[in-house]
Structure formats: structure tokens, C-alpha cells
């Protein structure tokens, strides 16, 4: 069995399709030798976090950021940018969860301090790549099995086996069965209704809190992110500018045409109509009609070889942030130095520019 590093290396090459003879150019880097940012999230119009080897917090809608944690629990040092996209989540201003290879951590003070929750090392830990919390108490983990907690992660109970894909289908997409089960996408809109989407494009839903899962959709594409604004409206993004939307809670999906063929890594909607998706080469596409049509955003100061945008989040309808960078993994060939990116928009995603963050 390959190591997790090899798995992630292959995953990066599949999802990103980058040319790896790269310069040290960057798009809004705060410093050239810093680890990439892997996640940005706002829980209110004022409170948000940016996660990398440092944990940064804003309480004024992104006007000012401060480093509240560095190099410890609650931070993520990512070797490939895409390795840790779905391992960090806040549910309100105080409560958040992070997962690293040494287990789960939970904060109740906005990220200042973190306490150990539980380890799933006995359940094929390399597949423990996704979790989702509906609120501060109820959450799910996807590993070889699906687990549920109703006490904030102190205790977990197995509720189902994780759905597996078909080898022939995975070979058609040129991915190995091991990679197809790595980092599944997970979202719950209620304590009963949830969506699980795999890298190989297969989507399942549950209507009983994860106890059983029903196949509903094959995207025919590699998927990288899922996002819901409410119980009914949701979106999937993936390779080659792929976007699909649902208006019935994930039971049916419709692929929509976008203005890019770049691989998309993340998507965020501030309401059912307005949202943006981001991806490789600092790609940003946005919509104001619920995903029916998409326009490419203008990004200032783009270098010759822009890095990857791994995450995007809006504080409100006008103010949004996108983060990412290049990783440090080098086993597959020449790469630039580790780096991070932060971009900000003040006009709902039409234009973006490099953001100034503390080092």
C-alpha cells in the first residue's frame, strides 16, 4: 500500500494538472518561504479565519487580521495545498474543529486553544480525510466507516460503512481505487439530510443521519468541493471548470457551463444567487443568478505562473477572500518554494487584489 504522501502527490497531479517547471512567482504572497494557506472561512460578516501554518483571525470583516496560533493544534502545514482542504471547520465564533494526522482537536474560544477529541487511527487513518459539523454538538466523520457524534466529538458511534466506488468507473477517470476513497466531500443540511461526493464523481445522499446512503448522481468528472446555502440549494465543483447545482437538497443535480476550463478547487455562495469558485492558476469565476451563468473575475497583479487558490469564503455580499499557494512536496519534480496567497474582493467577486496579512 502506498503511503499517504504518495497518495496525495498523485491526487495533486490529477486535480491540478499543473506544469511543474515553475518559477517562484506568486499571486499576493505575504512571504515567499511560508507554507500555503489551505482554508478561509467566515461564520458571520465580521468573524473569520485563515488557516495554514499560522491561524489568523479577523473580527472586523477582514479589515484587520491577527495571528492567534502558530505551528500547533489548530494550524495545518500542508505539503501539497490540496491535502488538507476539508479538515478545518468553525460552526460559530467560538467552536471549531481541526483534524491532523495526530487526531481531532476542538476549540471553544475561537481558535486560541485546542483540546484533543479522539483519534481514528484504527480505521484506515489515511482515509480519514473529511468531517462535517452541523452545529457545535452534531457532526459526522467519513473514514472506512461513517461515524456520528452528538456531544461535540467527545464520543463517536459508527452508523454505516462508507459507500465504495466501482473499479471500472475509477479506471475510466484514470484514478486508482485508493484515491477514489480519499478525501470524500461531506455536507449535512439537517441532522437527517446529508450529501457525500467522492473524488471519482459519485454522489450519495442520506435521509436518516448517515445510517444508509443512496446513489443519486455521477458527475463523470473528478470532484473537489461541495457547498450548500440552505436545505435545498447546493453546488459541486471539479476538474476542467466543472460545476453542478441542485435545488432539491442533492436528490438531483444539473451540470452548468462555466467560463473556464481550469480545475476548480473550492466554491462558496453567500446566498442562493451569488457565489464564486476558485482553482488553479488563480482562477476565479463568479455567478449572480444561482449558477446558471458564470463570469471570470479580474485578478490584479497576476504573475506568469499563478499558484493555486484552494479556498474561498465571503463575509457578506461584497467582501470575500480567497487563499492558497504552492506546497513543498517535491517528489514528483521541480516546484517553486513553499508559498501562500491571499486575495480580497470588495465588489462581490468582480475584481480581486492581493491582501496584506501579518507574517
Count Cα atoms within 13 angstroms, Cβ side, for 80: 25
Instruction: Give the span between the Cα atoms of 97 and 166, in whole angstroms.
Output: 32
Residue 359 lies in a domain: no
Residue 149 lies in a domain: yes
Residue 194 lies in a domain: yes
Look up the domain containing 160 and give its range: 4-354
Number of domains in the chain: 1
Cα–chain-centroid distance for residue 78?
A: 13
* One pLDDT digit (tens) per residue for the chain, 359 residues: 333 333 343 344 444 443 332 333 334 444 334 688 889 999 999 999 999 889 999 999 999 999 999 877 788 877 666 666 678 899 999 999 988 766 788 999 999 999 887 655 555 544 556 899 999 999 998 878 899 999 998 888 999 988 877 777 777 777 766 665 667 899 999 999 999 998 888 999 999 999 999 999 999 888 999 999 999 999 999 999 999 999 999 999 999 999 999 999 999 999 999 999 999 999 999 999 999 999 999 999 876 778 889 999 999 999 999 999 876 543 334 445 567 889 999 999 999 999 988 87
Query: Model pTM?
Result: 0.86
Cα–chain-centroid distance for residue 334?
A: 25
SS3 130: strand
Which residues have CB under 8 Å from 310's CB, separation 6+? 36, 37, 38, 39, 81, 82, 85, 265, 266, 278, 323, 324, 325
H helices of 113-250, where?
A: 167-172, 177-180
Residue 156 lies in a domain: yes
Residue 318 lies in a domain: yes
pLDDT per position as a tens digit, 250-293: 999 999 999 999 999 999 999 999 999 999 999 999 999 999 99
Phi, psi of 241 (to 5 degrees): 70, 20
- Vertex 187, ends 185 and 193: CA angle to 5°? 130
Cα–chain-centroid distance for residue 79?
A: 15
SS3 272: coil
DSSP 280: G
Closest C-alpha among 152, 150, 130 to residue 141: 130
Residue 277 lies in a domain: yes
Residue 336 lies in a domain: yes
Looking at the chain, the whole-number percentage of residues with pLDDT higher than 70 is 77
Sole residue written with cell 460559530:
92
Give the pLDDT confidence score for residue 30 in this predicted structure: 41
Residues 283, 302: contact at Cβ < 8 Å?
no
Where residue 229 sits, what CATH number does that domain have?
2.130.10.10
Residue 101 lies in a domain: yes
Amino acid at each position: 500500500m502506498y503511503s499517504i504522501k504518495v497518495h496525495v502527490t498523485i491526487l495533486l497531479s490529477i486535480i491540478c494538472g499543473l506544469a511543474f517547471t515553475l518559477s517562484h512567482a506568486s499571486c499576493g504572497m505575504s512571504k515567499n518561504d511560508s507554507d500555503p494557506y489551505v482554508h478561509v472561512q467566515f461564520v458571520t460578516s465580521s468573524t473569520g479565519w485563515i488557516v495554514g501554518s499560522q491561524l489568523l483571525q479577523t473580527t472586523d470583516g477582514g479589515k484587520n487580521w491577527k495571528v492567534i496560533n502558530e505551528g500547533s493544534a489548530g494550524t495545518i502545514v500542508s505539503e501539497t495545498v490540496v491535502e488538507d482542504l476539508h479538515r478545518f471547520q468553525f460552526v460559530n465564533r467560538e467552536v471549531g474543529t481541526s483534524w491532523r494526522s495526530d487526531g481531532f482537536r476542538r476549540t471553544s474560544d475561537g481558535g486560541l486553544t485546542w483540546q484533543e477529541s479522539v483519534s481514528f487511527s484504527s480505521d484506515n487513518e489515511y482515509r480519514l480525510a473529511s468531517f462535517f459539523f452541523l452545529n457545535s454538538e452534531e457532526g459526522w466523520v467519513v473514514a472506512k466507516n461513517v461515524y456520528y457524534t452528538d456531544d461535540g466529538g467527545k464520543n463517536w458511534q459508527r452508523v454505516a460503512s462508507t459507500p465504495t466506488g466501482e473499479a471500472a468507473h475509477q479506471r475510466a477517470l484514470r484514478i486508482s481505487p485508493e484515491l477514489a476513497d480519499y478525501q470524500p466531500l461531506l455536507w449535512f443540511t439537517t441532522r437527517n439530510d446529508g450529501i457525500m461526493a467522492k473524488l471519482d464523481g459519485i454522489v450519495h445522499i442520506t435521509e436518516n443521519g448517515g445510517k444508509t446512503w443512496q446513489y443519486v448522481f455521477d458527475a463523470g468528472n473528478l470532484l473537489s468541493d461541495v457547498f450548500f446555502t440552505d436545505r435545498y440549494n447546493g453546488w459541486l465543483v471539479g476538474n476542467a471548470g466543472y460545476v453542478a447545482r441542485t435545488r432539491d437538497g442533492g436528490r438531483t443535480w444539473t451540470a452548468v457551463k462555466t467560463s473556464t476550463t481550469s480545475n476548480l478547487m473550492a466554491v462558496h455562495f453567500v446566498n442562493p444567487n451569488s457565489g464564486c469558485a476558485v482553482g488553479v492558476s488563480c482562477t476565479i469565476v463568479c455567478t449572480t443568478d444561482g449558477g446558471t451563468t458564470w463570469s471570470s473575475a479580474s485578478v490584479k497583479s497576476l504573475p506568469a505562473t499563478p499558484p493555486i487558490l484552494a479556498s474561498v469564503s465571503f463575509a457578506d455580499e461584497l467582501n470575500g477572500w480567497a487563499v492558497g499557494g504552492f506546497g513543498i512536496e517535491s517528489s514528483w519534480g521541480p516546484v517553486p518554494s513553499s508559498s501562500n496567497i491571499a486575495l480580497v474582493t470588495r465588489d462581490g467577486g468582480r475584481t480581486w487584489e492581493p491582501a496584506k496579512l501579518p507574517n
